[in-house]
Chains A and B, each alone.
Chain A
Amino acid sequence: MSSWYMLTVVGEDRPGIVAGVTAALFKGGCNLGEASMMRLGGSFTIMLMVELGGSDDVLQQLVEPVARSLGLHVHIDSIEGQLHRHREPDVSITVYGADKTGIVARVTAVLAEAGLHILELESDVAGNRENPVYVMHIEGYAEKSIDLLRSALKVVECDGIEVSLEAVDTMIG
């Protein structure tokens, strides 16, 4: 009987982190599922679904040597998740503006109120130290209606934040 775990790995970015971690998992008989891996700031981050016929302690022991040698911090959660549970986004939202505290909280609050279910969110700070520009891209699912999300965003647009919302209509061929 195998179980799924969410393996979180964070460490100072350097070449070989993905190869090192996944090789250790492969040698330990793990099956890998969906993942998000990226450099954020100077750190490299991994969120990875791992399937294993053993406990979280076994998984911890598998990644311990590579984590130690590459200076990685590891966290493991037992999850109920499974593969093939994708949910299709029907709306794509981009937000940008002069970086100031509270943009994310403000925008996501009005969107949540209007029924947005966020499936993915990526954000970045562009510009330079003197004039930082915040850029955020969201893909999500409108639990109520896209028009409701559109009118909700009008409120935050007045604050000097640029917002664009586009319906996503997936073409199935």
Chain B
Amino acid sequence: MVELEILTYPDQRLKQVSPPVRQFGEELRVFIARLEFTMRGSPGGVGIAAPQVGYFQRIVIVDVSAKPKIPGHGRMVLVNPEILSWEGMTRGREGCMSVPDFTGNVMRAERITMTAFDEEGNLQEYLCEGYEARAVQHEIDHLDGLLFLDRLVSRHTDLFRRKKYDNKICNYSA
């Protein structure tokens, strides 16, 4: 299998909203396999969204199981994902295959509930927390044409946030 080419900003195609998947079947399964192969070929990559490879449909893959000590669902294929609820806010550092050589701090919900279709077209429900919830939110942003650059917070913001929230901040590997 050959890895798909990753679009990198300032490619304006990354800023567009992708429409939902309408048809499940062999073509979708083949694409998802190639998307996953591309994600696993990127060092440290725990998620990928279809628009990152120039395929503008609402498809995301997340798998944080390569990270030691981080709880999660393992391999998740999320087609037409919908976040139903958000809870808690935490700061964490993010990078993106589509924004090489830059990382920054982003506020994300600590816990989310979500529905998404799997690659067979079955509707699934998920409760994601911490690092995995962060990855899911980062990838779903790609479906709406948003990059983590759109959500950067300053370092000073972090210090003020620390005073407001005494729950764990950024502690994704503990």
B143 CB → nearest A CB, Å: 12
Which of A120, A137, A167, A168 is in CB contact (< 8 Å) with B159? Answer: A137
Q: Which residues of chain A have C-beta atoms less than 8 A from B44's C-beta?
A: 170, 172
- Please count how many residues in chain A sit with their CB below 8 Å of the partner chain's CB atoms: 19
Seed contacts A86-B102, A167-B171, A173-B48; 5 additional CB < 8 Å A-B pairs: A84-B101, A122-B156, A169-B92, A169-B172, A172-B97
Listed in ascending order, the chain A residues whose CB lies under 8 Å from chain B are: 84, 86, 88-89, 92, 94, 120, 122, 124, 135, 137, 166-173
Task: Sort chain B's interface into a size bin.
Answer: 35 or more
Residues of B near any A CB (own CB < 8 A): 42-49, 62, 67, 70, 92-97, 101-103, 131, 134-135, 138-139, 155-156, 158-159, 162, 168-174
- Judged by DSSP, the binding face of A is strand
- Distance in angstroms from B152 CB to nearest chain A CB is 14
Q: Which residue of B lies closest to A92 (CB)?
A: B170
Q: How far is the CA of A173 from the CA of B45 in the complex (A)?
A: 6
Q: Could you tell me the dominant secondary structure of chain B's interface residues?
A: mixed
- In the complex, A173 Cα to B168 Cα: how many Å? 22
Check if A171 sits within 8 Å of B95, measured CB to CB. yes
Residues of B within 8 A of A86 (CB): 101-103
CB nearest neighbor in A for B95: A172
- Considering the chains assembled together, what is the distance between the CA atoms of A124 and B158 in angstroms? 14
Closest to B48 in A: A173
Q: Bound complex: CA of A92 vs CA of B170, how far in Å?
A: 9
Tell me the bound Cα distance from A167 to B69 in angstroms.
Answer: 12
Residues of A within 8 A of B70 (CB): 169
Pick from A122, A168, A172: contact of B155, CB under 8 Å:
A122
